[in-house]
Amino acid sequence: MAGGKTKKEKARPAGHTPYQGGISFHKSKGQHILKNPLLVDSIVQKSGIKSTDVILEIGPGTGNLTKKLLEVGKRVIAVEIDARMVLELQRRFQGTPHSNRLQVIQGDVLKTELPYFDICVANIPYQISSPLTFKLLKHQPAFRCAIIMFQREFAMRLVAQPGDKLYCRLTVNTQLLSRVSHLLKVGRNNFRPPPKVDSSVVRIEPRKPPFEVNQKEWDGFLRICFNRKNKTLGSIFRQKSVINLLEKNYKTLQALNLAPAQQGALEDTNDVMDFSDEDIEMDDDGVDDGMEVEDGNAEGEVSEFKKKVLSVLKKAGFEGERSSKLKLQQFLDLLSEFNKDGIHFS
Ligand SMILES: C[S@@+](CC[C@H](N)C(=O)[O-])C[C@H]1O[C@@H](n2cnc3c(N)ncnc32)[C@H](O)[C@@H]1O
């Protein structure tokens, strides 16, 4: 374990846990250090690292995982936000045979332009789980795989299958871009200080080639589908707010005489999918409560546009289906059916 002499305990602000090397851990930076060497070995072994691999590590901390990664890979590039940890890493590896194969970048990984890497192995601060997953999956050229420790519930959302309680928009968005599998359950006592939640290590492999989909369209479509994931799509697509939005898109695109796929080509769109945590939809109880306002005038007449939307749903056989049970391919098929009829989500 890295660290110098034991220092006398001083009064520390709340949220800081003493570390015997003199560094206190900041909860605000998600500093929960892996203290179980057997677990570190197991993560490295399950990563399938090759001796030719350039490894990206996010948040190396005091370097417990970094040390093992340097033993098996060609090079480690470690991105660390905390200057004290960067110093500790330099101190720990200076003068060792590994030192010229370790590159430490000091900075916020979310704001850092990532270099080429073959594989990412990381015990990350959980507060950046969503944007980091999104950033990695956007990275080009695509890496081989990422082995990442997440908070257990977040990990279970990533690997969920249709019908699972945690199946959500984040699941479908992640699985559109990658294959995700659960590798290891990790109890909180393997960390110092222990976090309040248990963790899991997950393997993420970018799909090569990726599914061909207009990402703005996909994002708009899924937001609607998962607005209430246990309602039938028929019920969701009858809502006035949904019909109004789709009709507005329809009229705008007709006026421009341009489909979003073509439009996207004209724009510089880097803001693809948004995996932010606040977007994880509320769980509902699976009962259609009929509270949403349906589209239609006072006489109950249904607009031509609404008929068009509902006929696509019906024709494709999705009217009675619920997002909580749909497979990725079914979402792709339904979006394609809507688009064929000129109904767009962006
Ligand atoms: C959970 S600790 C893991 C430490 C070490 N890898 C281990 O397993 O023992 C997370 C590390 O990420 C760093 N960190 C937090 N936010 C970060 C960010 N936005 N960018 C890069 N590093 C960050 C923290 O300073 C901390 O060292």
Q: Write the pLDDT tens digit of every residue in 269-308.
A: 334 455 544 444 444 444 444 445 565 555 556 799 999 9
Residue 346 lies in a domain: no
22 confidence band (pLDDT: 50, 70, 90): confident
Pair (67, 161) in one structural domain: yes
**3-class state of residue 212 by DSSP:** coil
Q: Is the CB of 64 under 6 A from ligand 1?
A: yes
Task: Indicate if 92 and 178 belong to the same structural domain.
Answer: yes
CB of residue 63 inside a 6 A radius of ligand 1 = no
Q: Does 7 fall in a domain?
A: no
Residue nearest to ligand 1 atom 6, measured at CA: 60
Residue 6 lies in a domain: no
Strands (E), the chain: 16-17, 25-26, 33-34, 54-58, 75-80, 102-106, 119-123, 145-151, 178-186, 191-192, 199-206
Question: Quick one: pLDDT at residue 255?
Answer: 85
**Going by CA atoms, what residue is nearest to atom 17 of ligand 1?**
81
Residue 108 maps to a domain: yes
* Residues 317 and 223 sit within 8 Å (Cβ to Cβ): no
Pocket flag, ligand 1, residue 238 (CB < 6 Å): no
Average pLDDT, the chain: 87
Domain tally for the chain? 2
CA distance 219 to 316: 20
Average pLDDT estimate for 232-258: 92
* pLDDT of the residue at 18: 53
Range of the domain at 326: 215-340
Closest to 311 in 3D by CA, of 342, 277, 265: 342
The per-residue pLDDT for 20 is 43
Q: Which residues are annotated as a binding site for S-adenosyl-L-methionine?
A: 32, 34, 59, 80, 108, 123
Q: Say yes or no to pLDDT of 189 above 90.
A: yes
Residue 82 CA to ligand 1 center (angstroms) comes to 8
The answer on 30 and 169 residing in a single domain is yes
CATH number at residue 57: 3.40.50.150
Cα of 129 vs centre of ligand 1, distance in Å, is 12
**In the listed set 206, 231, 260, which residue is the last one of a domain according to the structure?**
206
Residues 270 and 220 occupy one common structural domain: yes
Give the number of the atom of ligand 1 that is nearest the alpha carbon of residue 127: 16
Residue closest to 65 by CA, chosen among 126, 6, 124, 151? 124
Q: Are residues 316 and 177 in the same domain?
A: no
Mean pLDDT lowest among 14-18, 123-127, 175-179: 14-18
Cβ neighbour number for residue 314 with a 10 Å cutoff: 12
Q: Indicate whether 173 and 263 sit together in one domain.
A: no
Tell me, yes or no, whether 5 lies in a domain: no
Q: What is the per-residue pLDDT for 277? A: 44
Residue 9: pLDDT over 60: no
Find out whether 68 and 57 touch, Cβ atoms under 8 Å. Answer: no
**What span, in angstroms and rounded, lies between the C-alpha atoms of 20 and 228?**
49
